[in-house]
Structure 1
């Protein structure tokens, strides 16, 4: 079975808000997720994360450390999503997504996150815990 690898960027600002994107194809109901996507063959996981943040949000990021790897299976792929803590080092909100999937970029607080329609519902518990703890802050 073929391996698909991707990243999800985690960034909590000093107001305890999480960087998130509202996404989906034109036919889909739009849902919220962390910025991220699939790794190209010629890049590292960290490079993928930084590229995806740039494309989906307009922010220039620096990968700090890997926090978690989610393993799942979506036939015909084994899927690994690397959750990477990032720091924003420049840029501003500006959607540059070549896949044209991103509708909106926002900083989301804990009370808003509680009721959002997430692309990956299994992420909610961990993201809520991260916001409750104050997360590992990153610059905005």
Structure 2
């Protein structure tokens, strides 16, 4: 079976809002994430993906969860990190050009929006408590 590994960054601001992104092809929101490149650690991937997709520089605080699943016969491992933003966003600079929007979502908004990965909602809510 093929395998794929990636990282995701959960960033919460001082207003207790979660940094989320939406792609051009989806109405759903997700935390910034992407595939780990050759020679890259999961932490380095997380920092790079958050920067590309949201424009924020972040530092990794801790590994929260490792999600393993199978999608279309591909074994998928995703490392979820709690990250902290450094400064303000320099704007989306996504080399894959799939990110349409990056925005901060409040607790109420998290419960109302469509999620690309609905199973992540519980994890996000746990981080806000």
Q: 2:70 aligned with 1:73, yes or no?
A: yes
Q: Which runs of 5+ in 1 are unaligned?
A: 134-140
Shift of 1:74: 1.3
Question: TM-score when scaled to structure 2?
Answer: 0.93
Q: Which runs of 5+ in 2 are unaligned?
A: none
Q: Give me the whole-angstrom Cα distance separating, in 2, the residues matched to 1:95 and 1:30.
A: 18
1:47-126 counterparts in 2 under 5 A?
Answer: 47-126=44-123
Aligned to 1:4: 4
Question: TM-score when scaled to structure 1?
Answer: 0.86
Change (3 A) 1:58 1:40: same
CA contact (8 A) 1:93 1:105 kept: no
Count of residues in correspondence between the two structures: 129
Shift of 1:88: 1.1
CA contact (8 A) 1:19 1:34 kept: yes
Q: Give me the whole-angstrom Cα distance separating, in 2, the residues matched to 1:106 and 1:77.
A: 30
